[in-house]
A and B are shown apart, each in its own frame.
Chain A
Amino acid sequence: MSKISLRQLKHSYLKNPAGDEDWALKSLDIEWSDGGAYALLGPSGCGKTTLLNIISGLLVPSSGRIEFDDVDVTEIPPEQRNIAQVFQFPVVYDTMTVYDNLAFPLRNRGVSDRDIGPRVGEIARMLDLEGTLHDKAAGLTADAKQKISLGRGLIRAEVNAILFDEPLTVIDPHLKWVLRSKLKEIHRRVGSTMIYVTHDQTEAMTFADQVVVMHEGTVVQVGTPIELFEKPHHTFVGHFIGSPGMNVLPCDFGGGGPCFAGHPIAAAGAARPAAGYKRLEIGVRPEFVSFSDHGIPVEIEKVKDAGRYRIVDTRNGDVRIQLLVPEGMSVATGSAHIQFDPGHTQIYADGWIIGEAAL
């Protein structure tokens, strides 16, 4: 078990990366504390898997360092890092039994059979694999195979970290939930640092204490699910997390405060942006937009029923603004006025949050 730190970590799959787009990872500095449950969340191609493979040692980064408990492990091969990794598609050794699969990492490290037995039994009990311990691994279901992959990681005592690369992709929906709670349970019991890569926000939010949101090779925000929801540090986080995503509206700074289409907007902690930005935007989640007697005039376009609430599409000029209306509340048609909750309205310069909220 250890703390994992990434220092100015950069990686490119090309030999001579030139432009910004050649870098799969653009200078990351992250610290993962010992025993935490983290999720790496981002769309496909944002560099999540690259980062995971660098942590496990399958990839050596182009530059920068990775440290376990302040010891530089950048050049150390995966088998010496004491890391477990569970892949998107279950990896089992087909010709071996479940027992042999679990024992394999220990046998490779020269552990005696007498010590392996009890350890395999313990892990099998933890993962509910006891009943199939002497079956061929090849014939098992995808979720059992994924448990074996996980078990091969857990079998080594005191793994530094367990890495998951979208492990539930091939699992049936009703088993996803079961397996996810199993992971939480194991995290509590084993106490290892766990890093879970996914592009599914629900998976990330339910699994992790801290979610690391990645976008185009950079980390845009690290925070608890609540922080990501309430104070997205980047408009990308606002779009990517939450359904529907955050409203992002063009903003100008007239008369000392932020304005949208000539209407002053109250945004808590909004400061005058430093000069030199190209684009200024207001971000407010549909949850924090409501109808009112006065405020921004909009045309109501469409009302979608989403179960416990309804999503209302409105329009001011060319700008679409969505808001959520609780079940049972009537929605007017035609013209209306809306207002934003000042405590949950942020100002973004070139995509990044500004003002005291950024601190």
Chain B
Amino acid sequence: MTGKFTNQKAWFLVLPVVVLVAFNALIPLMTVVNYSFQESFGNNIFFWEGTKWFEEVLHSDRFAASLGRQIVFTSIILAIEIPFGVAIALSMPRKGPWVSVCLVLMALPLLIPWNVVGAMWNIFALPDIGLLGKTLNALGFDYDYTQQPISAWFTVILMDVWHWTSLVVLLSFAGLSSIPEAYYQAAKIDGASSWAVIRYIELPKMKRVLIIAFLLRFMDSFMIYTEPFVLTGGGPGNATTFLSIDLVKVALGQFDLGPAGAISLIYFLIILLTCWLFYTLAMKDEAQ
């Protein structure tokens, strides 16, 4: 017999993975899908609603507002953290004892849990007793993140930059360290300026790790919840109510499971599509 040998028993070997994935991803996600098409009035009784929740969410001003805030927030922190992280990585020493010192210092913020970061900054930025808040006011700025939307945004962004720029730094540094010495030597012989070295050697060689850094920071910041929740609770007013804070309010505050399910799925799709689009575009050149 020359045909392909088939052995269906192999499926049993895949079973543990299937079960694992089912329980930690597929089944929870399907519950959300289930909610998003139905209405419940408690007692586990559900009524089919079709796409009603999706239409409602997509036409709701509240969703549009928190999505808008989310996009603005994510854009700002990406615009700050990626260039800033790259700049720090470029100015770090490449060899010698200071490398480890710098790396440890850089890693420290990453080791602090989200809620602790929120609590730290909550106190740090308080206008009456916090070091940052008090100093800013002493310098003549009218700063109170608990009352002023601008101050609250400033604090949330500063906190995120403080917490997460290190991730970009560490990834960029890893990318930089992998550039062979010969590139720098060739550039010297070619008479390249230090800007040309960054532009034509270091940035292109960092491209892959920067794509990863960008995707990680995009996903994490787009899903940000704990830090602003602890810091501002989404306020003042709704000023820092990002998508996930709003989602929790809908799902667990109002217990509107249907709309919450629809928001979750739209939210999920936005992240998935953006990542896919970005990755495809970024890797287009590499595919050849």
Contact = CB atoms under 8 A, between A and B. Distances in A.
Interface in A147-202: 149, 152-153
Contact of A108 (B185, B193, B204): B193
A108 B200 contact: no
Interface string B169-202: 0000000000010110110111111001000110
Contacts of B188: 57-58, 77-79
A320 B201 CA distance: 54
A253 interface: no
Contact of B189 (A83, A89, A136): A83
Interface stretch (A19-27, A93-101, A205-213, A304-312): A93-101
Interface in A34-88: 53, 56-58, 77-79, 83-85, 87-88
Given A89-B180, A108-B196, A79 B201 contact: no
A136 B287 CA distance: 12
Interface residues of A, number: 28
B285 interface: yes
Interface string A116-154: 000000000000000000001011000000000100110
A95 B183 CA distance: 14
B196 A87 contact: no
A336 B193 CA distance: 70
B191 A95 contact: no
A109 interface: yes
Main secondary structure of the interface of A (DSSP, over half): mixed
Interface string B255-282: 0000000000000000000000000000
A260 interface: no
Contacts of B288: 136, 139
Main secondary structure of the interface of B (DSSP, over half): helix
Contacts of A56: 185, 189
Interface string A267-311: 000000000000000000000000000000000000000000000
A91 interface: yes
A149 B186 CA distance: 8
A138 B201 CA distance: 12
A104 interface: yes
Contact of B204 (A84, A93, A104, A105): A93
A108 B190 contact: yes
B179 to A, nearest CB: 10
Contact of B182 (A91, A104, A105): A91
Nearest to A79: B191
Interface of A: 53, 56-58, 77-79, 83-85, 87-89, 91, 93-96, 104-105, 108-109, 136, 138-139, 149, 152-153
A-B CB proximity, top 9 nearest: A79-B191, A87-B182, A108-B191, A91-B186, A105-B190, A93-B200, A95-B204, A78-B188, A94-B204
Interface of B: 180, 182-183, 185-186, 188-193, 196, 200-201, 204-205, 285, 288
13 contacts: A58-B188, A78-B188, A79-B191, A85-B186, A87-B186, A89-B180, A91-B182, A93-B201, A104-B190, A108-B196, A109-B191, A138-B285, A152-B186
Given A57-B188, A152-B190, 13 more contacts: A58-B185, A58-B189, A78-B185, A79-B188, A85-B185, A87-B182, A87-B185, A89-B182, A91-B180, A93-B200, A95-B204, A104-B190, A153-B189
